[in-house]
Every structure is written in C-alpha cells, then in structure tokens.
Amino acid sequence: MPIVLLADGQTSGGYSKIATVISVDLDLLAQARPGDRVRFQRVTLTEAHRLLKAMEKKMRALKSRLS
C-alpha cells in the first residue's frame, strides 16, 4: 500500500521512496479523501516539464482574464 507524504509529512522513516508525484498533480492528490481511489502513471521528466509549462500558461491566461 503506497504512502503519499505531502508538504506537512514527516521524513520517510525508513520507507523506500519509489516515486514522486509531479507538481502539476499535487493539488489534485492533496484534495483526495481517505478511501478515494488514486491511480499513478509513469511519466518522463520531459513530459512532467511539458505539463508544468502548459499549466503555467493556463494560469497566466486566467490571471490576465481576471485582471
């Protein structure tokens, strides 16, 4: 059973760190409630960077619409 530690999590305490959640998905994961099903998918570093840039572009567009 995976254990996901977010910003307020303790150190890994001897558990192996087998993966990292990409920053684009951290908000979604943080909103999951106990018992929710979560599916992890492997992505490359290049893909993670592309997704982050796309999210940043969307956030800039939203910010300009709100201004």
Task: Give the domain ranges of the chain.
Answer: 1-67
Between residues 27 and 7, the one the model is more confident about: 27
pLDDT for res 31: 93
CA angle 16, 21, 22 (to 5 degrees): 140
Both structure tokens of 59: 């956030």
Distances (CA, A) of 14 to 11, 17, 37: 8, 9, 25
- The beta-strand segments (E) located in the chain are none
pLDDT for res 48: 96
Q: What pLDDT digit, counting tens, does each position of 9-66 carry?
A: 666 667 777 888 999 999 999 899 988 999 999 999 999 999 999 999 999 999 999 9
Residue 33 is given by DSSP the state P
Q: What is the Cα–Cα distance from 40 to 1, expressed in whole angstroms?
A: 12
